[in-house]
Amino acid sequence: MFKEELNILNKEFDSDFSSFLSKKESVDKAIISSVSEIIVDVSSRGDVALREITQKLDNYLLEDFFISEDEINTSFGRINKEVIAALEFSFKNIMEFHSKCRDSLNLIPIDSEVSRLFKPIKSALLYVPGGKASYPSSVLMAAGPAIASQVRDLYLTTPFTGGHINDLTIAAAKVAGINNIAKLGGAQAIAAFSFGTESIPKVDKVVGPGNAYVAEAKRQLFGTVGIDSIAGPSEIVILANSTSSPEIVAWDLMAQAEHDEDASSILICSSEEVIKEIKEIIDKELPNLDRASIIKSSLEKNGLTIKIDNLEQSIKIINRFAPEHLHLAFNNNEIDTKDLIAGIILEGQDSAVSLSDYVLGPSHILPTNTSSRFSSPLSVEDFMVSSTKVSLKTKANKGLYNELIDQASVIARAEGLTAHAISVEKRKKY
């Protein structure tokens, strides 16, 4: 079932593990080339290119690029009230969490004269995947920190495959108060909002997860537009031991794998018996699931088990993955989470990934493909820019002010920047 089953005691472990990672981290050259062509085409031909690409890839000829208010209300009306209530519950928790985060970023004094001032960016695009499932949760998880940050102009885009957008996606946008919903997906959507076209506005930042083409487009367009992180196919590493519930772990692995065939489900475990039980449960339960074929393909393509002797051995392995989700599937405190690198760390059996996906509050839009080493979960900081504010009051401490001048002058003259030195030295007169 799993693509590979490794044991840390095997002589070949390091090379086999490195090989697995290199395959996972590599980007198909064909994808790089295809995305590059799309970006160039959209930047040069604008709306015409968007219509042609959408017809070719999504099998639909676009007339209007945005969904009308009537279409939004119609989609919303088709959704079960219980589902709407759940989306509203989720969004309330998301807004509460990110509003508290935003409040903590108000004027932060470093001392009385130097501080940091945070302010929202003016515009942002929230990308929501279409593909093999609808993701209304991703709408809420992207919208929450953006709205809490007080971004003025918010746009949402999602694939219009075959002339259809999932009603749940549109309903979630309405719950979040987003009315600007574009009918574009893939690399062409990222390019359109990065450059702007006749009908599509240029935004300051693009955020949200997507497939390999979306991830590559974000990679190539970084610098042209702000990018949150390169969030590609979803992934989880579960660390288990003899106290872990094989049933819980098995279902968490399958839950991750059902995203799509490119999702990664990794099990690191110190108990051979637990690994065996987990595999038996998956074999038994998988045929009964709606997305059995996707789960099976995902595990066979990207699934991995690693047998370790003790939990301490897992730290280096986990940090080489630097995974999107890390679940410590036991209730003892054998691992110090400060030593671990991951987008989200779920500690203890009760801390289900699926709860964090939907209702806890923090965004589930997380860095993937080892980028947790240098990227963070989507948050209010992604929709803010900061300025350093300097307000020196020399009368308060003339001696200290003169010392600042003297030392700055020394450094400036050492760099050969004489005007810099003189510009501060002149201030001693005032």
User: How far, in Å, CA of 380 to CA of 304, rounded?
Assistant: 34
Q: Is 325 a catalytic residue?
A: yes
Catalytic hit among 325, 334, 415, 425: 325
Does the CA dihedral 294-300-301-306 come out positive or negative? positive
- Per the annotation, the verdict on 324 as an active-site residue is yes
What is the DSSP track for 170-234? HHHHHHHT---EE---HHHHHHHHHH--SSS---SEEE----HHHHHHHHHHBTTBEE-----S-
Alpha-carbon gap, residue 167 to 84, rounded angstroms: 11
The single residue listed with the structure tokens 């219980």 is 82
Determine how β-strand 325-328 pairs with β-strand 123-127: unpaired
* Catalytic residue selected from 324, 327, 334, 425: 324
- What is the rounded distance in angstroms from the CA atom of residue 402 to the CA atom of residue 400? 5
Torsional sign, CA 160, 164, 169, 170: positive
Structure tokens at 343: 């987008």
- The number of residues making up the chain comes to 430
Q: 4: which residues sit within 8 A by CB, 6+ positions away?
A: 16, 20, 303, 304, 305
Catalytic annotation, residues: 324-325
